[in-house]
Chains A and B, each alone.
Chain A
């Protein structure tokens, strides 16, 4: 099947193949996928940065299937070193230590920078920047460093680092729904308290993958214990609000 569409290069392994190689991540198709550098800000712990490795020199750092390019972390400034070209902040978050380089330019002097960061010594800061390797030591370049005023940010940062990590490990949707409910942080309802509309939404979402023609109304009403009329009403509400979509006929639904 693939050969019929050979001209489309990298798209031959699209999601509609029914053979065993389906899926965008197979590596045996002989066509190198054009590598696009990921530039979104990834929340991490310093340990992840220190453990990260480059597959190729000057390539992106990788740790547990996460590509690290722009990273953000929170930590405490433990030491500030004065160097002629700038200052180096040693930041530590309990998982490790990393150097954060702040270059000085025409608008700032080392003394000013030192003064500014000396006030933050021993306090929590938020750091984001590009992860680079220099003489086999990882440093964070072009960094933005600002003091943390509300320390809930520290907690949330760690939680989102954990979330990002778990998603990259391919934790399935069903599990992630469960775990986000278990945290009680991001999702306030759980199944027991969910409104009928939400219950149907979750149900359709869970079953969409296994029911290619759509999750049918009778199936919903039977599994969730609604009358067919109620199920229809709630489904219509969800369709109107754009949360689910009509399937192959009027009484079956999808959730993307």
Chain B
């Protein structure tokens, strides 16, 4: 976990292909057999979870740490952290917006 990750949302997937990222979103659907799902983070993000011991519940909010695939916009997730249900996704979106204005604080 020495490497830093950049906070993004669905709108920034395209510009962060192949990079380690962190995104906050609400799980819309998750298929345990394929370890894949869809997360709403200011738009839809398809995720694939590496560690089968970790699986998110639909309707809950998580922070996902993973890598954006370089040829599709899927995110391979290495770690998930459950966030409280009242986490304000609008604020999370604003944070993503501001993080990219002050790179000296983040990456």
Stretch at the interface among B32-40, B41-49, B69-77, B85-93: B85-93
Task: Assess the B102–A162 pair: CB atoms within 8 A.
Answer: yes
Nearest Cβ distance between residue A1 and chain B, in whole angstroms? 39
Task: Assess the A159–B94 pair: CB atoms within 8 A.
Answer: yes
- Known contacts: A162-B98, A162-B102. The answer to whether A151 contacts B4 by CB under 8 A is no
Task: Assess the B105–A78 pair: CB atoms within 8 A.
Answer: no
The prevalent SS among residues of B at the interface is mixed
Residue from B79, B83, B99, B107 within 8 A of A151 (CB atoms): B83
Which B residues touch A47, using CB under 8 A?
A: 4, 105-107
Residues of chain A touching chain B, judged by Cβ–Cβ distance below 8 Å, are 45, 47-48, 64, 76, 78, 90, 92, 94-97, 122-124, 149-152, 154-156, 158-159, 161-162, 165-166, 183-185
Which B residues touch A184, using CB under 8 A?
A: 94
Task: Assess the B86–A166 pair: CB atoms within 8 A.
Answer: no
Q: A47-B4, A90-B1, A165-B104 are in contact. List 11 more A-B contacts (CB 8 A).
A: A47-B105, A92-B1, A94-B4, A94-B106, A150-B84, A155-B87, A156-B91, A159-B91, A161-B105, A165-B105, A185-B91
Question: 10 smallest A-B Cβ distances: which pairs?
Answer: A151-B83, A151-B87, A151-B84, A155-B91, A94-B5, A92-B1, A94-B22, A45-B105, A78-B1, A150-B84
Which B residues touch A150, using CB under 8 A?
A: 84, 86-87
As a 0/1 sequence over residues 1 to 37 of chain B, the CB contacts with chain A under 8 angstroms (1 = contact) are 1101111000000000000001000000000000000
CA distance A166 to B101 in the complex (A): 10
CA distance A161 to B22 in the complex (A): 18
Which A residues touch B84, using CB under 8 A?
A: 149-152
Closest to B91 in A: A155
What is the count of residue pairs linking A and B with beta-carbon distances less than 8 angstroms?
A: 72
The prevalent SS among residues of A at the interface is mixed
Nearest Cβ distance between residue B95 and chain A, in whole angstroms? 5
Closest to A154 in B: B83
Task: Assess the A94–B7 pair: CB atoms within 8 A.
Answer: yes
Which B residues touch A151, using CB under 8 A?
A: 61, 83-84, 87
Which A residues touch B68, using CB under 8 A?
A: none
Task: Assess the B86–A96 pair: CB atoms within 8 A.
Answer: no
Q: List 18 A-B contacts (CB under 8 A).
A: A64-B104, A78-B1, A94-B5, A94-B106, A95-B106, A97-B1, A123-B81, A150-B87, A151-B61, A151-B83, A151-B87, A152-B84, A152-B87, A159-B91, A159-B95, A159-B98, A162-B101, A183-B98
CA distance A92 to B81 in the complex (A): 13
